[in-house]
């Protein structure tokens, strides 16, 4: 927390002072504070890897994991928004609604004042891409904040904290049910079958993924992102659908959609599960569809121009990162095009790649959702949606994180690896503007990924040598 505050904001951004001036950046030595942030992220990531591995093998229990999650989260609670300025964009959009401006038609630059100075320059003139329920919540938080940016940030963080706590509780329950289902499944592979220790390790590992994950601690709670609501609603949707409480499942999916467009995946999940249970064109399936449609219509009426967000959904795509899958594919298309008479510029190549990945991702999501009902399918569909998005932010992977505990050991290891890698995509700008800072970030990323890979490789080598020994005995 101290390192992040000291590293300071990007140029042309002026942050509020916060309570007792605790949010004021350091006057000098910002590079060293940024290095402290990077090293701290690496330490937290490696510790998380070890915690999850020990939880999954039964060496530590759910109480130890919960204690670690609480201890890691406490220091970020009084901090300013960490590693992102999105919270100030949220508050600016809520303020626009409160003052009669339409955040779907214009950007926070219509506001002016000190709050605009805290918004990232790239988002100052852009409309809001969030659903009507998100903006209605932001309007209420700004109103309750009484004009204090710090109070409003803490209210937002309280919402994120409650959402994470709910996600953790539901994730543990879902992991317990998935463990029981795998135990009874005669076709389950050896990796997913019961290991004789009961559901304890599955529960502890699920809690580690949701509550002790650096993406959750640093971004959902520390960064104060509304994606925390989507994480909780995904778990609630799948949990309710698994218990055939269709009204709760349908309402949770509809609410998720009015928080963020990604919630459409949950609507599709509820419809697919209901269709497999009662038939595609049955009265019950149709009724669930009407329920969700009605809920979306009602929630869209919470704010003026409640459907205006659909025209602003391309806002996040205004930026691109070197690690976005769509951007990487776009670069490959651009380089390949240089070998032919048709040589598209980089921007056009990236646009083509985005369409390709979105189309391929949509096909894969439909396929996943139509497979036999398993919570892991919805989680994987949300992860695919995150990775094929035009722009990928670290916290996008948290959309399906509450369902990751329902998967097998190797799938969880893959999730851990991606989470660890994404931890290093949001660093203080002081590092990203310097070659030495980029090199340091990459080196720390390699260290963190080695913590994931080495035990897996060691286990694979041990298993192979054991098989060879049995064959030659």
CB burial string 266-285: b at 16+ within 10 A, e below: bbbbbbbbbbeebeeeeeeb
143: tokens are 């109103």
Beta carbons of 417 and 378 less than 8 angstroms apart: no
Q: What pLDDT sits at residue 192?
A: 43
Phi first, then psi, for residue 453 (nearest 5°) are -80, -40
How far is 254 from 267, CA to CA, in rounded Å? 7
Q: What pLDDT sits at residue 111?
A: 87
| Domain count of the fold of the chain | 1
Q: What pLDDT sits at residue 214?
A: 96
Beta carbons of 238 and 206 less than 8 angstroms apart: no
Give pTM, 2 decimals: 0.90
Q: Which residue has the tokens 């709910």?
A: 166
Q: What pLDDT sits at residue 97?
A: 94
Q: How many CB atoms lie within 10 A of CB 71?
A: 10
How far is 80 from 108, CA to CA, in rounded Å? 20
How far is 109 from 123, CA to CA, in rounded Å? 9
Range of the domain at 245: 2-472
436: tokens are 């030495």
Beta carbons of 448 and 424 less than 8 angstroms apart: yes
57: tokens are 């093998």
Taking the CA atoms of the chain, what radius of gyration do you get in angstroms?
A: 23
End-to-end CA distance of the chain: 57
pLDDT along the chain (473 residues), means of 10: 61 78 73 90 96 93 96 94 93 94 92 88 92 96 92 96 96 88 55 54 94 96 95 96 94 96 95 88 92 95 91 83 90 81 79 93 90 77 92 92 88 92 88 86 93 74 50 51
């Amino acid at each position: 927390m101290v390192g992040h505050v000291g590293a300071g904001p990007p140029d042309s951004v002026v942050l509020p002072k916060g309570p007792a001036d605790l949010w004021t950046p350091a006057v000098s030595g910002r590079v060293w504070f940024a290095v402290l942030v990077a090293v701290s992220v690496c330490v937290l990531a490696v510790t998380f890897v070890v915690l999850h591995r020990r939880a999954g093998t039964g060496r530590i229990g759910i109480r130890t994991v919960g204690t670690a999650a609480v201890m890691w989260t406490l220091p970020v609670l009084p901090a300013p928004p960490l590693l992102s300025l999105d919270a100030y964009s949220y508050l600016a959009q809520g303020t626009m609604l409160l003052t009669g401006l339409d955040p779907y038609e214009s950007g926070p630059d219509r506001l002016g004042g000190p709050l605009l100075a805290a918004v990232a320059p790239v988002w100052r003139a852009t409309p809001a891409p969030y659903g009507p329920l998100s903006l209605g919540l932001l309007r209420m938080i700004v109103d309750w904040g009484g004009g204090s940016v710090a109070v409003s940030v803490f209210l937002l963080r309280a919402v994120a904290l409650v959402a994470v706590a709910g996600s953790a509780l539901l994730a543990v329950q879902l992991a317990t049910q998935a463990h029981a289902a795998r135990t009874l499944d005669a076709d389950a592979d050896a990796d997913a079958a019961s290991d004789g220790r009961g559901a304890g390790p599955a529960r502890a590992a699920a809690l580690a993924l949701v509550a002790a994950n650096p993406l959750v601690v640093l971004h959902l709670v520390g960064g104060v992102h509304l994606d925390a609501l989507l994480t909780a609603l995904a778990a609630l949707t799948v949990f309710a659908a698994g218990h055939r409480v269709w009204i709760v499942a349908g309402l949770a999916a509809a609410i998720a959609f009015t928080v963020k467009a990604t919630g459409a995946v949950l609507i599709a999940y509820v419809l697919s599960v209901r269709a497999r249970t009662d038939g595609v064109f049955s009265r019950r399936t149709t009724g669930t569809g009407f329920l969700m449609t009605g809920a979306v219509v009602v929630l869209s009426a919470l704010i003026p121009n409640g459907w205006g967000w659909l025209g602003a959904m391309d806002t996040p795509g205004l930026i691109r990162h070197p690690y976005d899958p769509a951007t990487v594919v776009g670069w490959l298309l651009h380089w390949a095009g240089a070998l032919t008479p048709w040589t598209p510029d980089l921007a056009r190549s990236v646009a083509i790649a985005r369409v390709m990945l979105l189309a391929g991702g949509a096909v894969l999501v439909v396929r996943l959702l139509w497979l036999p009902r398993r919570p892991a399918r919805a989680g994987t569909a949300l992860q695919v949606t995150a990775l094929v998005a035009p722009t990928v932010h670290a916290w996008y992977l948290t959309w399906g994180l509450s369902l990751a505990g329902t998967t097998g050991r190797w799938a969880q290891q893959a999730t851990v690896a991606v989470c660890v890698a994404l931890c290093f995509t949001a660093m203080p700008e002081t590092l990203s503007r310097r070659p030495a800072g980029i090199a340091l970030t990459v080196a720390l990323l390699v260290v963190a990924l080695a913590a994931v890979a080495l035990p897996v490789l060691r286990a694979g080598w041990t298993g192979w040598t054991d098989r060879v020994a049995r064959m030659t005995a």
